[in-house]
Chain A
Amino acid sequence: MKIRDGLRVNYIYVFFVVFFILLFLRITYLQVFRKNFFQNLAQNQYYRLIPLSGKRGTIFDSKGRILATEINTHSVFADPLFVKDKETTARLLSENLDIPKQKIKERLIKEKRFVWIKRKISWSEKEKIKSLKIKGIGFLREHKRFYPQEKLTSSLLGLTDIDSRGVDGLELQYDSHLCGKDGMVRVLQDSASREVILTPQIITPQEGRDVVLTIDSQLQYWVENFLEETIKKFSAKEGSVVIMNALTGEILVLANYPNFNPNNLKEFSPQIMRDKAVCDMFEPGSVFKAVTLVAAIEENKFSDSDVIFCENGSYKIPGSTLHDVHPYGALTFREVFKKSSNIGVGKIANKIGSQKIYVYVKKLGFGDKTGIDLPGEIRGNVKPLNSWSKTSPYMIPIGQEVGVSLIQLVCAYAVIVNDGYLVKPHVVKAIYSQGGYKETPIEHKMVISASTAKRARGILEDVVKDGTGKLASIEGVKIGGKTGTAQYFDTKIGRYSSTQYRASFVGFIGDLNPPIVIGVSVFEPKGSHFGGVVSAPLFKKIAEKAVKYLGGEKIASNPAVKQN
């Protein structure tokens, strides 16, 4: 009996020894050999990585007004596993977030642990949803791009996508500067999924740089209003206006109509969002005659009093016939431009020679990008000299068979205003970062002599004083410019349209310090299609405001201006 009891004790003893050895081995295996695996598993449960988004930079106008900024918003997400009553949850969310119930329900039945319900909702919407205390519904803080000036400068600023990356306009061009760098923070998570900031490990997010533009929102506002008025008055399709500081190339206004509200993109087509002043090419018509004028003066081929016979309104050229709106006989060199005679300009160009004309077309920047700091700039269309047809030597000097953008025309006129220098236009004045700021340098090169520019200025001032651009004149203010009326070349029918025109006026206010160039272009006006009737009055309205707003002492003391 005693022996059997002793054996039992031994068995139990052996059993426990083996049991504890196995337990020890198991613990050793888990603690030593599987240490990293279980440590990671535990850390994934205890710790949570929270992304910290780097705020996108703000865009200011030249006076410090905010044009685009970031605001904090919340995005609603769901963990479908925790949403018990999917029907009720979908109904409640649908009522508060303005999304179809079925759409939310489809997301909630997905076998995922994370689905977006709606991104970037307002604070009041978030508070409403939060008060419902729905299990499985959470919020993530995100930034949203906000354009406080709404339609103002919309086509220039462009837009960002849902993740605040630039997709168009200035937002795209300066995306690398504006875009912040995202950071991250690791926090402890307790059993109730609350975040506890305990020895946080942070990768600090970096804010994007702020961009200050050369644009003046106040002037932009007036210009956009005047442009809209003109477009509506003439039932036109679209229009653009550019105002540039002729000395520095700073763009003060860049307006397009129709425009759009970048805060509400659903209502607009991508066609409206295009920056027409920079990205659209058109046949300029008579505004292009300034190139012939500059070439004739620089080559010293004509004096102001030289007489050109304008064939009484009709002149046969190789392959076509040139016409004038009004028939003219003998006109002086100065009068040819004042009255915008196609025949006269054609004859002047013929005397200068095609090669020289081509050189001046290129010198004034046509056929090349101006280098403006906006995306999608069009190069225009200037045929190489060896591709010129029989009609080209007469047509190109009067602004046909050539494609230009409004910004190119403004830059070319700036050459005449600032004594022969071609400036590079720009819309960004400076970029500010934590470490300091960088200003956009002024780039210019001399393309014609100062004396040529001065003589051309005088002739263009005559055009406004008592020529085709009379409706652009302001009493007591030195204004020069050129009207342009161009038929639209319809690619569908393969010839010029008899109903579609582009009315333009490009001019300058020489009295201002610094002088400015204003380019106006209206497409498909109805009633009248002449640049002198449609665009010149619009130029005048803008110039009046600009003179009062930007005018120095010389302008301010002028009694004629004060009366306006």
Chain B
Amino acid sequence: MKKKSFAIFIVFLFIASLIYLHQKILIYVEAYKISKNHRLSNELIDKRDYLAYNLTKETSVEKINQWAEKNNFLPTEKVLALNLRRAEPVKSTNKVMAMLNGLLGIPTGSSTALAGEK
């Protein structure tokens, strides 16, 4: 009886160890996936910045004015400008949720306006 119980214990321990190992491996696989995605996202951010750099350079006040002068373009009375300032953070209206978020350190969803017409 004692021998049987011991054998069951060993088998149980073996299975538990296998499950633990499997979970550990899964964590590492996920970590590798996250790292790969992070690298990819960084590369995309770099590409975006490169394009934004070229675009901003081509749309400078000087370039726009040169184009306007060359093409006899007369601007309208009202000036249209892009409002690129950072938007005010959006705060939750639910006080209980806001307090819980504060206690647990969960960031409240602050929206950032990339561009809006003014």
Contacts and interface: CB of A to CB of B under 8 A. Distances in A.
A71 B49 contact: yes
Contacts of A221: 61-62, 65
Contact of A197 (B35, B83, B118): B35
A122 B56 CA distance: 15
Nearest to A556: B77
A23 to B, nearest CB: 26
B82 A64 contact: yes
Contacts of A148: 56-57, 59-60
B34 A197 contact: yes
Given A123-B46, A188-B31, A146 B84 contact: no
A60 interface: yes
A206 interface: no
Interface in B64-103: 65, 79, 81-86, 88-89
Contacts of A124: 50
Nearest to B37: A197
Contacts of A72: 45-46, 49
Interface in A193-222: 194-198, 210, 212, 217-218, 220-221
A64 B47 contact: no
A149 B35 contact: no
B interface, by DSSP: helix, strand, loop or mixed?
helix
Interface footprint category on B = 20 to 34
Contacts of A146: 53, 56
A137 interface: no
A557 interface: no
A103 interface: no
A150 interface: yes
Contacts of B84: 58, 60, 64, 66
Contacts of A126: 46
Interface of B: 27-28, 31-32, 34-35, 38, 42, 45-47, 49-50, 52-53, 56-57, 59-62, 65, 79, 81-86, 88-89, 110, 118
27 contacts: A63-B81, A64-B84, A64-B118, A66-B56, A66-B84, A71-B49, A71-B52, A72-B49, A123-B50, A146-B53, A148-B56, A148-B59, A149-B62, A150-B60, A150-B62, A152-B60, A152-B62, A195-B35, A196-B35, A197-B31, A197-B34, A198-B27, A198-B31, A210-B85, A210-B86, A220-B61, A434-B86
Interface of A: 58, 60, 63-66, 69, 71-72, 74, 122-124, 126, 141, 146, 148-152, 187-188, 194-198, 210, 212, 217-218, 220-221, 432, 434-436
